[in-house]
Every structure is written in C-alpha cells, then in structure tokens.
Amino acid sequence: LRDELIESEKMKVVSVISASVAHEIRNPLTTVRGFIQLLTQTQVDQEKKRQYGKLCLDELDRAQQIINDYLSLAKPHPELNEKLNIGDEIYYVSKVLTSYANLSGVEIVVEFDVDLYVTGDRSKFRQSIINIAKNGIEAMEAKGGVLTITAKRNKRFVVLRISDIGNGMTDAQINRLGSPYFSNKEKGTGLGTMVSFNIIKGMMGRINVQSEVGRGTVFQIVFPAVS
C-alpha cells in the first residue's frame, strides 16, 4: 500500500509538472509565431526585422531553457528504482557543468565518501542536482568563486551538500524556493528548484537551505542510505 501511495503521489507530481511545462512552452511559441507572421506578411523595414528577429531568438532561448530545466522529466522512460552511487553521480554532474561554470569564473570542487548509495531514477537524480548546482553557479556569476558538492555518510543517511559563495537569499526568498515561477533572474524560468525538490521528495530526501545575503548558500539534502 505504501508503495502504491508513493506511486500515485509521483503520478500527481508528474501530471502537475507536464501541465506547467506545456503552459510555459506555449507562451514563447505563440510569441515567435506572431512575429514570424508579421515578418512574412508585411513590408518590414530593416530595423523592425532586426527587432523581431531578436525577440524570436530570445523567446526560443527561453523555451530551450524551460526544456533544459525539465530535461529528464520529459524522457519517455518509466520511473526507475536504481541503486545510485552518489560519488559517481556528483562527479558526473560536476563534469556536465564544468564549461558552464568556467564561463562564470567558477570552479567546481567535489568530495565524497566511497560506496555511498541511494535509490532513485538516475537521470532524474542528475537533473535535480544539476538544477541546484546551476543556481549556485549563477549566484556567483558576478564575482566567480567555488561551488562545492560533497556527499558524506551519517549513520543510516547520506548527506549531500551543494554550497556556493554567491549572492545568497533572504529568508523570504528561501521560503519561496520550490514553488513554480519564482525567479529573480532576467532570463529565469522559476522552474528549476520546483523540479529538483519534487524529484528529491520522490526519493524520500529532505532538503534544508541555509543562506546569507552577500555570503552564499548551502543546500543540504539528506537521503536514506542503501547498503
């Protein structure tokens, strides 16, 4: 029964998420469609062409960003219950994000205890960590810094920490994390943490956020360890 409840809870989350993805992708598509129509139907001067073209590109980038934030959730495979080696997974995530980090002058440091395992869907788990780590990198964009990802054993739990020394958050901002469309970024989707938190909760993980404005942020996630 417990498993069934978890399963139906997950289905609920998936359907809420797909509905909001559809909604969010539709907006930029509608905008782009409108501008292309303008470009093809009327005499348009160079300046307007340039302007419309730029708006289309910006909107397409936005659609792309939304898809990136949701990437693994959109993959058409059923939810898997795999045994994941946390060290391998955070190492993988650090590699995926290296070039993105370098663009912002951010270095990624990874540290982990060996033979630490959790249960979950590999690509979803990666997605959840990528979204949180990306926010850490973006928080250090202005000044550069170090993003630290660590995984340690604590009795029957795995403690994962993602820390940055970026711009930090107020308590009010921390409280809004995980809710859809909360973003303080010019090109933000406000979907990354919602997707991450849903995945982590689906894995029985608990999330704790410590942050100080101007100093940085620590996301601590505690999962039940699997032997």
Binding region for ligand ADP (CB under 6 A): 131, 135-136, 139, 164, 166-169, 173, 177, 182-185, 188-194, 217
From the DSSP assignment, how many helices (H) and strands (E) are in the chain? Answer: 6, 7
Alpha carbons 138 and 161: distance in angstroms, whole number: 17
Per the listing, tokens 């849903």 go with: 198
β-strand partners of 211: 217
Size of the site for Mg ion (CB under 5 A): 2
184 binds, among Mg ion, ligand ADP, none (CB under 5 to 8 A by kind): ligand ADP
- Contact partner at residue 136 from ligand ADP, Mg ion, none, CB < 5 to 8 Å by partner kind: ligand ADP
Give, to the nearest 10 degrees, the angle between helix 122-139 and helix 192-202. 140
166 contributes a contact to Mg ion by CB under 5 A = no
Residue 167 or 198: the one with the smaller Cβ distance to ligand ADP is: 167
Beta strands in 49-116 (DSSP E): 82-85, 106-112
By a kind-dependent CB cut-off of 5 to 8 A, residue 167 interacts, out of Mg ion, ligand ADP, none, with: ligand ADP
Residue nearest to Mg ion (CB): 192
- Residue 121: which of ligand ADP, Mg ion, none does it interact with, CB under 5 to 8 A by kind? none
164 binds, among ligand ADP, Mg ion, none (CB under 5 to 8 A by kind): ligand ADP
Positions in 120-139 near Mg ion (CB under 5 A): 135
User: What is the C-alpha to C-alpha distance for residues 136 and 166, in angstroms, rounded to an integer?
Assistant: 7
Cβ-based nearer residue to ligand ADP, 35 or 70? 70
Q: How far is Cα 70 from Cα 24, in angstroms, rounded to an integer?
A: 11
Tokens of 130: 């990528």
Q: How far is the CB of 216 from Mg ion (least distance, A)?
A: 16
Any idea what DSSP says for residue 226?
B
| β-strand pairing of 106-112 with 145-154 | parallel
Q: Which amino acid, residue 8?
A: S
Nearer to ligand ADP, 120 or 148 (CB): 148
- The token pair at 198 is 């849903």
Position among 120, 136, 192, 202 found at the interface with Mg ion (CB under 5 A): 192
Query: What minimum distance in Å lies between the beta carbon of 85 and ligand ADP?
Result: 25
List of residues contacting Mg ion (CB under 5 A): 135, 192
